[in-house]
Chains A and B, each alone.
Chain A
Amino acid sequence: MAILDVQHLTQFFGGLRAVSDFNIQMEHGEIVGLIGPNGAGKTTVFNVITGVYTPTKGTIVFDGQNIVGRKTYQITQAGIARTFQTIRLFSKSSVIDNIKIAYHFRMTYGNTDAFLHTRKYWQGEQFVDDYAIDLLRLFHLEGHADDISGSLPYGAQRRLEIARALATKPKLLILDEPAAGMNPAEADQLMETIHWLRDKFDLTILLIEHQMRVVMGVCERIKVMDFGETICEGVPEYIRNDPRVCEAYLGKGA
């Protein structure tokens, strides 16, 4: 059974059709890329899947449950985590707190324990501190644990954002332009990381990316969107040679 099954997804903003009849089925463990020119509706698809917008039409079944109409936080709790096109860290909080925040909904102590700092609080805090530092270590960020996250260099912020998404223990990870702003060496590193993530955390990954080298190198399957429509999909070699894709990116006659 597909872990994510999106059928006939359509999204209007007023009179503007941002996405029309979008379909995708993802099997457990797959890495799928979503590409297309700016304004093609890729990020809108992400926002609809993660509950930021409610779709005008269509169904989204994740892990056997229909998630249309659920709130963003409920969808995250169900197992979909994401990163953002422009980094959205909790920039005034420390690096480690960014991770701990993402674990909040799994914490076992309640408001009363928080007010009174009961034994349950101390146990919970100790546990989450260990959990967070272990996760930071995997991303080579443990040395910055107590720094303010907004002060990290750009590359480290990107890594932290992925680490934060993983802290929610997702089944499906959605990455919105993870290589944006990276140089070729960093992008190579990222491709390795994405494969490693999938294996290490047993993930399914959906990503948007503009750097073709990254998309072709990391994805097993690619969908191409233009003006809200899916214009073709397939394995990287197929996409590379499809004239419609060139046309969408470069215009007719290219």
Chain B
Amino acid sequence: MNFLRTHRTIATVIAFVLVYVVTKALYLTGILNTYYIQLIILVGINIVMTVSLGMVNGFTGQFSIGHAGFMAVGAYTSAMITTVWLHASTANPWVGYPIFIVAVLAGGLLAAGAGYLVGAPSLRLKGDYLAIVTLSANELIHAVLNATEAVGGPRGLGGIPKFTTLEVVFVFAIVSVVLMRNYLFSSHGRSMKAVRDSEIAAESTGINTTKQKVFVFVFSAFFAGVSGGVFAHLLQFIDPSSFTFVKSLEYLIYLYVGGATSISGAMVGAAIFTLLPELLRSLQSWRMVIYPLILILTMIFRTEGVMGLKEFSFILIPQRKRKEVSA
């Protein structure tokens, strides 16, 4: 439609393909070993988790603190489908991958359903209710998983086929971020920000704020659920302790340090904090001591996070020129 728009989209696509080709080449030549590839895949998953959390916390101004609970719902649902019920395997990818895709989407939908159950009663109300409900829901999901023998209880669920490859996570992360970015740069996305800036003014301009908040919360839970599915099929083993409240807190740290009011910020936060421990491996046991300190210092000295309101240019939607604007 518009030269600039097409042009920039193509440039962005080329950039991502290049990143993929380089990563793959480094892997094939043995410069990056499997461990590093796994780490890069985790970056992709964590980006989707953090960006989806940012939709609720950063752009809609709510305070959801149990995102890992939805991840757990997606992880367990998809793993049960591929592993326990359908015995999918990577041996025959033509059968395996369709099952995998259906399974992660089913996980996403179930997580979205859980999101609705949690969000609908609490988002009706103003105030801090959502925080305490999501925290409780996260702990409850954890407790239920621990107590359910059918999903392995505290021993967890193993033998999950490894469907999540570098290619899968590339496609997954890019599609997810593009979808959420698109939503944010739409009339609906503007209403999200309106809810955040002044709920009462948003209502007064005709926005059904409750509906808007619940919808964002539900699709955020959906993406968390799908991320959980992709995560389960990377590690091939999940247990309830992978999805505790502490895990949710990690995503909150990624988000707020990176910048909650920016998709780019969420991505930067997720990427840095996923890679950082590898650079400081000697400090492994100190990780969750240092991270919260970084969070507290960010809040005190740079409340809006590293990126603030800024976005990388590939995130933004190119704007058309307006007709004869005179200042």
Contact = CB atoms under 8 A, between A and B. Distances in A.
Please determine if A and B sit in direct contact within the complex, based on CB atoms under 8 angstroms apart: yes
B183 A114 contact: yes
A88 B207 contact: no
Contacts of A101: 187, 190-191, 193-194, 202, 205, 207
A124 B187 CA distance: 9
Interface in A160-195: 164-165, 167-168
Interface string A124-142: 1110111001000000001
B190 A100 contact: yes
A121 B317 CA distance: 13
A106 to B, nearest CB: 8
A47 B317 CA distance: 38
Interface stretch (B81-89, B285-293, B318-326): B318-326
Nearest to A51: B203
Contacts of A109: 186-187
Given A72-B204, A104-B205, A93 B189 contact: no
- Dominant SS among interface residues on chain A: helix
B234 to A, nearest CB: 25
Q: Contact residue range for chain B?
A: 35 or more
B76 to A, nearest CB: 26
A73 B327 contact: no
Interface in B298-327: 309, 317, 320, 322-323, 325-327
A71 interface: yes
A81 to B, nearest CB: 7
Contacts of A91: 197-198
A90 B182 contact: no
B293 to A, nearest CB: 28
B2 to A, nearest CB: 9
Given A73-B206, A143-B325, A84 B201 contact: yes
Contacts of B200: 52, 72, 84, 88
Majority DSSP secondary structure for residues of B touching A: helix
Contacts, number: 126
B310 to A, nearest CB: 12
B206 A90 contact: no
A235 interface: no
A106 B197 CA distance: 21
Nearest to B5: A122
A130 B191 CA distance: 18
A76 B193 contact: no
Contact of A143 (B1, B188, B320, B326): B326
Contacts of B197: 89-93
Contacts of B327: 142-143
A126 to B, nearest CB: 7
26 contacts: A71-B203, A71-B208, A72-B204, A73-B206, A76-B203, A82-B204, A88-B201, A89-B197, A89-B198, A90-B198, A90-B201, A90-B202, A93-B190, A97-B190, A100-B187, A100-B190, A101-B207, A102-B205, A104-B187, A104-B194, A107-B187, A111-B183, A114-B186, A114-B189, A130-B323, A164-B205
A-B complex: 8 closest residue pairs judged by Cβ atoms = A143-B327, A114-B186, A72-B203, A105-B206, A76-B206, A102-B205, A90-B197, A88-B201
Given A109-B187, A113-B186, A143-B326, 12 more contacts: A73-B209, A76-B206, A88-B201, A88-B204, A89-B198, A97-B190, A101-B191, A104-B190, A104-B205, A104-B207, A114-B183, A125-B187
